[in-house]
Amino acid sequence: ALPLAAAIALITKMTSSGSAFFTQIRVGKNGTRFTLWKFRTMGEDAEKYGPRWAKPNDQRVTPFGKILRRTHLDELPQLWNILRGELSLVGPRPERPEFVATLQKEIPFYDLRHLVRPGLTGWAQLNYRYGASLDEAYQKLQYDIYYLKHRSISLDIGIVLKTARRFFSAAS
């Protein structure tokens, strides 16, 4: 993955200002916080008005960032998070602490998703669109709870295979 990552970093630097990488604090297993790595897909000042969920056709996304997001190549640096033991390949996607505090207050059992290590991909990501509101976070939680109840190596393999199929169909 290193040659691909180097090419993406170079193109990101050539097509927009700022760092090629973007880091955010996320909430992991048992509520621990860690730094999540991604390739930067938005302009440098994307959060000058504070944290907010990304939306479809978000104006803050750069032209090359749209390609990275569509192909999910922006998440390639998260392999580092997996190597460090902060992420699993499969699990609920980690959320930002600014949102977790609100979601825990508003959505019953939201904290259940922190019983396992978060993942690069997951059941909710495959079965529900990107969540950008309280109602959508609630819907995604239903998929996360399903995953927690039915966690198995066969389910994880199925999720990885379905994710790979989506990745290759998005890249073509």
3-state SS string over 54-70? CCCCCCCECHHHHHHHH
Compute the radius of gyration of the chain from its Cα atoms: 16
pLDDT at 16: 87
pLDDT at 157: 97
pLDDT at 127: 92
Residue 48 pLDDT greater than 70, yes or no: no
CB contact set of 69 (below 8 Å; sequence gap of 6+): 41, 61
Residue 47 pLDDT greater than 70, yes or no: no
Model confidence band, residue 26 (pLDDT cutoffs 50, 70, 90): very high
Residue 27's DSSP bridge partners are: 33, 95
Residue 172 pLDDT greater than 70, yes or no: no
Model confidence band, residue 36 (pLDDT cutoffs 50, 70, 90): very high
pLDDT at 167: 80
pLDDT at 35: 97
In the chain the first and final C-alpha atoms are separated, in Å, by 18
pLDDT tens digits, 140-164: 999 999 999 999 999 999 999 999 9
Report the predicted TM-score, pTM, of the whole model to 2 decimal places.
0.83
pLDDT at 45: 66
Over residues 90-116, the mean pLDDT reads 94
pLDDT at 130: 73
Query: Mean pLDDT in the chain?
Result: 89
Q: Considering only 2-16, 125-139, 143-157, which range has the smallest mean pLDDT?
A: 125-139
